[in-house]
Amino acid sequence: MRKIAFLLFFTECFFSTHSIAQAKLKPAIPAEINRPKLVVGIVIDQMRWDYLYRYYNRYSSNGFKKLITQGYSFENTFIPMVPTYTAVGHSCIYTGATPSTNGIVGNNWYEKTTKKSMYCTDDSTVQGVGNNDNAGKMSPKNLWSTTITDELRLSNNFESKVIGIALKDRGAILPAGHSANAAYWYDDKNGKWITSNYYMLQLPEWVNAFNQKDNAGNYMKQDWNTFYPINTYTQSTADNQDYELALPGLQTPTFPQKLSGITTSLKYSTFKYTPAAATFTFDFAKKAIENEKMGSGKVTDFLTVSISSTDYMGHSFGPNSIEAEDTYLRLDKDIADFINYLDGKMGKNNYLIFLSADHGAAHVPGFLKSHNINAGVFSDNIIFQQLNKMIEDNFSTKNAVLSVQNYQIYIDQVKLKNEGKDLNAVKKMITESLKNYPFIINAFETEKLNSATLGEPIKTMLANGFTPTRSGDIQFIVKPGYFDGGIKGTTHGLWNPYDAHIPLLFYGWNIKPGKTNRETYMTDISPTLAALLHIQMPSGSVGKVLGEVVK
């Protein structure tokens, strides 16, 4: 009997202490899902991954270095498709999709259904707001998939505010998605921020007020000198190289860049190439945050900022120029200033930043050649003319090639069929002749990609970049270091690491410092944001959640 009583006592004690322990261990059930006040997506147009470290020693502790050391850096992030152009990169970052499902196969393409050339964000059905010409007739209608910004709006019955900002229309419109509250881009004829009636019928007062100040014109009154003494720019070649392009309106590609000497309206176009254009973009972003009260409501807002000036500069001078070095040292100060601003406005750790790039860039071929490194340029237009002459000579069909762009050949299949020509024979002749160009490694029909003898990751990148109604019929692959372009300046667009290896940094709200060299992809950015925000991923998303930042 005593034994039973003791057992009962023991059991009672055991269970009661156990339940107390359990109550202590059980995590409190959060009443609500925790989300940041504001997400800021920063895309630096044409920023190669190696710029994080090339200029690291001269960055301040509050800009890129802060993002690298206090944020999480995905050091081996690649673009998983070609071509590596601005519209393609921005669309991929914000949709988690590749051109095969989001439809943005280039900045430009030939639309087979309408037999017309198409620019990625052209929309003839809309009108500019703050602008009366074609620069305003823009919308995201060509983008097939939703964006992460659309998904944020969809997640809470469109309570979240989404605004896209970039000098380039495509850098503002594609990230902001279909349901954005606004997208603003730059009119390079007058230095003003504009939009289209896709978003609104008139510009907000704060935008008009910003425009009236003629900030771009005022920045152009100052010449561009190097921030530090020019002899300290030891990461770069000497200033004056004959393979560099002078800025529009200037005689030489050298410091000081005499911007103040450009007094016509051309100055608004030249402004896009200068470091001050990044400052100007961040200044406008701050005005948007303040006037649209972003990050001050009950739900998460999303601001997309793309810095376009780095791309204009990069095309002219290349990665090894003093201009590039100075641009990134100054951009570092803009980023430090913007982080400082967000800390003050949102409070530290109340906002989430991610920073990436839409693509990188090749070294200037002239520069590489001067160091005995293989590189070169060619002209798509010459290939276009030569192929058309060949088909005319052999098949008596004029203009059988419609276009050569994005390293693809578009063939007028309808015309060839109507004229009773052997389409397969035409394709075979074009493919074989392309292989004879000394800079072309391989050529094949895009529909026959699967049977082409081609290594990875190129094969997958081509498949990801292909969609039948917008892509070309024949693809050609060029030697590393070669591209379609002139002998001055540089470009991007290919599969090679210099074009496809991009920075990817997460910083702020719930992000623990760290880095990984694991291979990750541009398509992973949106699914990761979706996981962090507890919202659905975009409708065409094929990426994977980066577990390192989602704990």
Binding residues for Zn ion, per CB under 5 A?
Answer: 45, 86, 311, 358
Residue among 6, 23, 35, 49 at smallest CA distance from 504: 49
- The DSSP string of 335-384 is HHHHHHHHHHHH-TTSEEEEEE-S---PPPHHHHHTTT---EEE-HHHHH
Minimum CB separation from Zn ion for residue 405, in Å? 14
Strands (E), 197-329: 301-307
Residue type for 218, please? N
Chain centroid, CA 437 distance in Å: 31
The overall longest dimension of the chain from CA atoms, in Å, is: 112
Pick 45 or 169: Cβ nearer Zn ion: 45
Pick 427 or 492: Cβ nearer Zn ion: 492
Helix (H) or strand (E) holding 270: helix 266-270
- The DSSP string of 499-546 is HHEE-EEEEETTPPPEEEEEEEEGGGHHHHHHHHHT-PPPTT------
- Expressed in angstroms, the distance from the first to the final Cα of the chain is 54
Minimum CB separation from Zn ion for residue 86, in Å? 3
Pick 150 or 499: Cβ nearer Zn ion: 499
- Report which residue's Cβ sits closest to Zn ion: 86
| Residues contacting 400, CB < 8 A, separation 6+ | 387, 388, 391, 392, 411, 412, 415, 416, 426
Minimum CB separation from Zn ion for residue 332, in Å? 19
> Would you call 6 helix, strand, or coil by DSSP?
helix
Q: 86 catalytic, yes or no?
A: yes
Minimum CB separation from Zn ion for residue 548, in Å? 26
Strands (E), 79-191: 108-111, 116-119, 128-129, 162-166, 182-187
Minimum CB separation from Zn ion for residue 168, in Å? 8
Pick 357 or 546: Cβ nearer Zn ion: 357
Minimum CB separation from Zn ion for residue 362, in Å? 11
Pick 203 or 307: Cβ nearer Zn ion: 307
**Cβ(51)–Cβ(492) under 8 Å?**
no
- Please tell me which residue in 86, 98, 146, 310 is annotated as part of the active site: 86
Pick 73 or 86: Cβ nearer Zn ion: 86
Q: Rounded distance, CA 381 to CA 288, Å?
A: 42
Pick 489 or 508: Cβ nearer Zn ion: 489
Residue 18 CB coordination number (10 Å) = 10
Q: In which residue are the tokens 């074989």 written?
A: 432
What residues are paired with 196 via a beta bridge? 128
Residue among 141, 136, 142, 119 at smallest CA distance from 196: 136
Minimum CB separation from Zn ion for residue 275, in Å? 17
Minimum CB separation from Zn ion for residue 402, in Å? 24
Pick 325 or 358: Cβ nearer Zn ion: 358
Q: Which residues are catalytic?
A: 86
